[in-house]
Amino acid sequence: MQNRLKLLRVGLALAMFAGLMAALVDFRGSVPPRFGHWLASVQFVPSLVASATGASLSLACIVIAAATLAAGRIYCSVICPLGILQDVIARLASVLRLRSKGVFRYAPPHIWLRRLFLWGTASGVAAGWTGLVVALIDPYSAFGRIASGIFRPLLTLANNTVVGAANAIGVGTLYRVEPARAGAGALAVPALMLTLIVLLSAWRGRLYCNTVCPVGTLLGWLSRWAAFRLEIDRKACSKCAACLRVCKAQCIDLRAGAIDFSRCVACYNCIGACEHGGIRYRFAWRRRQPAQADAPQGSAAPANAPDPARRAFIAGTAAAVAVSFAAAPRLLARDPGNGSGKAEQNAPGQQDRDNHTRAICPPGSGSVDQFLVRCTACQLCISACPTHVLQPATLEYGLAGIMKPRMNYSTSFCNYDCRACGEACPTGAIALLDLAEKRLTQIGEAQFDETKCIVKVKGTDCAACSEHCPTKAVNTVPYGNNLRLPRVNRDLCIGCGACEYACPVLPDKAIKVAGRRRHGRAQKPEEKKMAAPTPAGDFPF
Amino acid sequence: MKSRRDFLRTGLVLGATFSLAGRRGLFATETPAAGNADAPLPSAGAPKPVLVAVRDGSRVAMLDKALASLGGIEAFVSKGQTVLIKPNIGWDAPPERGANTHPEIVGHLTQLCLAAGAKSVSVFDNPCDQWQLTYANSGIEKAARDAGAIVVNGKDKSLYREVAIPGGVSLKNARVHGLVLDSDVFINVPVLKHHSGSLMTAGMKNLMGVVWDRGTYHRNDLHQTIADFLTFRKPSLNILDAYHPMLSNGPRGTSVEDLVEMRMLLASTDIVALDAAAARLLGHQPAEVRHVEIGDRMKLGTMNLDQVEIRRFKLG
């Protein structure tokens, strides 16, 4: 009965993995942004960030904590895509015999390292570096960056290689896609992460999850008190070690006859591996110190004997969690936005210096400061963005914004009728605005330098900027001898970047969008019914 | 100021004529497709170019009427030929916004070409907005595909090829879509709109969508480059959708309020004459639209509608 748990685990994990992978590597816009959003919303850190910053009320983190307290780290094996990726790699390494004999063996925990990473995270949050720290430590977001930043371009290139051949044999459904580009700086982190993950998981299974990952450490701490824990039935156990050979968490200590449940990722491989049915879920809350009671006489080290290192670990974990929670109100206090992602009403034409930003954040994110606290840099929005105007920042936002999406108008612009990023975002960093609201959300403001404009410099028509402008904030006025010179109406401009992208002036464009640190609200373009210029009913020629 | 410009113009036109006359073969890296040679150049004594203007019918009925007047689609498409239909698919906007050619026209024209025995009908544009969204929301992708056309990605740079444009004054070379270079028949199906940069977009301006880098046009005298392209290749036929032209906020438009319902469709093999008539529809003199005036001056067609045989039809 219990070994069906593994089938269930593998099935659910593969479904989650495939779904998230599809949403993140999607280079043709085939996966609805909402699909990725649902899968990402049940991830622990995005949900915690959404709730803690007040972006939205997300219960997933509480459900995950409760599930962990009930039956251990189910999150780590079924929901976390980085965990599942490691299982895939570890499995491959076993099949390819990259690991010695393709099996695992017991290894003691690295308690001090676990503590260091958890404490580092907690102090980072307490020190106000939430934006950077949370983005770096969240395993889901790390996976997102690997899939979106590394796998997606590779898949695009593969697609483009196949397209030529497919077209040659008359398959018309495939087409070439320009690969999305990101700065090397923004790709360095996911590239390093992928290398680390591949090496660690091929070598020692879930070592990353049980040493580095603060989410693993936190849930591991909860699972020590789980109601149902996997335990070894001493009477049935023949010490054949079949279980620990398949334990990728390396947490089955056969000598002590105990499972370190804080490191167990609830993969259930051991249950199926044991021919004697010697490993089972047992209800652990009714009994006190069951291990000691069952321990064979004269055992050198009873499993649950007081261990100073473990006690310190538990105390440390508890303190780190307490510090993080204590810091949460500070997060909210630091947040200058109004929490809804909606834009503030700005006085027309007013844009003070402190409201300027070099990197422009997407509509729905409210303000750069709010955005950087809420965004975990998972890049789901970057994969969902149909125009690829959203690209991972290097240091344009500063350190807190590394790998977080910014609007890059040198290669594209924001589609007027699109809000895919808001549909995708799992943390509420980019709120899903009504389309009518999004069309009025001012994320920047076009600034026109007519001394560089082709119309003035060369005396020929151009107005590529005005042509692309969706609100006609950039219109033209009669100029010179039957020419049209662009003119910007700042009240109508939403900062979508269409004008900047379209401006053909090289190398320095004549029209550029200056980012707004706090988003504003543009006026609605006036709709004036046009009259026919020529008499109706006949031909004007 | 004016006299200097005139001097330059004269000089450039002379230069263009010279290079057209003498060096065409020298500079051409691509042999112009067969359709180009058939395009009639207006000259003294030649028959007047024909412009068909139909109004007050459905789009399909007006298209049928216009084609019937020009001798049917068979006059342009022969059995086994490859056809390119180039609509305006510039903007991510639905058909009722009039920012793109109406899908009904593209769909119906595709059916007619295939019925006339065309080997294949391809449809593409190099859109300004994101191409998948633009293709889908314009309704053209579905209409064309349902009618049997091959809808081709206009944002695939590898499908464009660098060609020399020896007859061009400002546009000396361009990266042109392979379908324009390789198709036997090239049908231009623009939509009529106000344009905040070029005053008007109709037939001539629509051809900007067959080159990869629009910036080249904008940097090198928009109107001149628009006209220059026609020295390289003229469409076999031009069909203008003026059912509800956009009169303000063009070429993208901000709402349906920008449109005026005229229920009109024009067709001609003379793209300059077509645009001259289109300018009139928007209330302009043809010469006010500079690329039309240049096209006339470079003898790429005529903007003098007195020199055109206009066949007017009122349906319904």
Q: Using one digit for the tens of pLDDT, what is the confidence trace for A315-371?
A: 666 666 666 655 555 554 444 444 455 555 544 444 466 799 999 999 999 999 999
**Residue B25, pLDDT score:** 37
* Residue A96 clears pLDDT 50, i.e. is over it: yes
Nearest-CB residue to A176 (from B55, B156, B199): B156
* Disruptive mutation site among B2, B129, B240, B302 for chain A (greatest number of A CBs within 10 Å): B129
- Whether the pLDDT of residue B7 is over 70: the answer is no
Pick B196's closest partner by Cβ from A416, A475, A529.
A475
Of B223, B260, B276, the CB nearest to A461: B223
Q: Is B251 exposed, middle or buried (0-12, 13-18, 19+ CB in 10 A)?
A: buried
How many Cβ atoms are within 10 Å of A125's Cβ, its own excluded?
A: 25
Q: Which residue of B has its CA nearest to A174?
A: B153
Dihedral (C-alpha) A375, A381, A385, A389: value to the nearest 10 degrees?
A: 30
pLDDT tens per residue, range A267-287: 999 999 999 989 999 998 876
Q: What are phi and psi of A377, to 5 degrees?
A: 60, 40
> In this predicted structure, what is the pLDDT of residue B17?
43
pLDDT of residue A301: 42
Q: Which CATH architecture has domain A440-525?
A: 2-Layer Sandwich (3.30)
- Let me know if B239 is exposed, middle or buried by CB neighbors in 10 A (0-12, 13-18, 19+): buried
The DSSP symbol for B31 reads: P
Mean pLDDT of chain A: 88
- Residue B20: pLDDT above 90? no
pTM beyond 0.90: the answer is no
- As a whole number of angstroms, the distance between CA A79 and CA A86 comes to 13
Pairing of strands B173-177, B199-201: unpaired
Residue B127 makes CB contacts below 8 A (sequence gap 6+) with B89, B90, B91, B92, B134, B135, B154, B155, B209
Measured between CB atoms, which of B156, B219, B305 is closest to A504?
B219
Question: What stretch of H or E contains A511?
Answer: strand A511-521
- Rounded to a whole number of angstroms, the distance from the CA of B281 to the nearest CA of chain A is 6
Token output for A509: 């464009």
CB pairs below 8 Å between A and B: how many?
128
Interface test with A, best of B12, B194, B196 (most A CBs within 10 A): B196
CA distance A413 to chain B (A): 9
Helix (H, G, I), strand (E, B) or coil at A430: coil
Q: In whole angstroms, give the CA distance from residue B186 to residue B206.
A: 13
Per-residue model confidence as pLDDT tens digits over A159-186: 998 887 777 665 567 888 887 766 777 7
* pLDDT of B43 above 80: no
CB A394 within 8 A of CB A402: yes
Radius of gyration over every alpha carbon of chain A, rounded to an integer in angstroms: 28
CB-based contacts of A161, cutoff 8 Å, min separation 6: none
Q: What is the mean pLDDT of residues B72-94?
A: 98
CB contact under 8 A, B196 and A476: yes
Reference A81, options A118, A32, A27, A36; nearest CA is A36
**Token digits for A199?**
């090496």
Q: Which residue has the higher pLDDT, A89 or B43?
A: A89
Q: Is the pLDDT of residue B37 over 60?
A: no
Specify the pLDDT at position A534.
Answer: 79
d(CA A71, CA B84) in angstroms, rounded, equals 64
Instruction: Give the type of residue at A351.
Output: Q
Model confidence at B38: pLDDT above 80: no
Residue B76's CATH number? 3.40.50.11440
> How far is residue A212's CA from residue A196's CA, in Å, rounded to a whole number?
11
- Best CA proximity match to A370, nearest among A519, A493, A515: A519
Residue of B nearest to A460 (CA): B221
Among A142-151, A172-181, A338-347, B196-205, the range scoring the smallest mean pLDDT is A338-347
Does residue A55 or residue A84 have the better pLDDT? A84
Weakest mean pLDDT among A212-221, A305-314, A419-428, B295-304: A305-314
Nearest CA in chain B to A179: B156
> Contact at 8 Å (CB) between A539 and A466?
no
Report yes or no: A213 and A197 within 8 Å, Cβ to Cβ.
no
Instruction: Identify the pLDDT of residue A166.
Output: 77
Q: Cα–Cα distance between B134 and B89 in angstroms, integer?
A: 7
Taking only the tens place, the pLDDT of each residue in A37-79 is 999 999 999 999 999 988 888 899 999 999 999 999 999 999 9
Whether B288 sits inside 8 A of A482 (CB atoms) is yes
Which of A454, A472, A536 has its CB closest to that of B218? A454
Residue B220 structural domain:
2-314
Q: In angstroms, rounded to a whole number, what is the distance separating the alpha carbons of residues A96 and B207?
A: 57
For residues A511 and B36, what is the distance between their CA atoms, to the nearest angstrom? 39
Contact A505 B219 (CB under 8 A): yes
DSSP designation for A6: H
Q: Do B254 and A418 touch (CB under 8 A)?
A: no
3-state helix, strand, coil in chain B (%, to 5): 45, 20, 35
The total of structural domains in chain B comes to 1
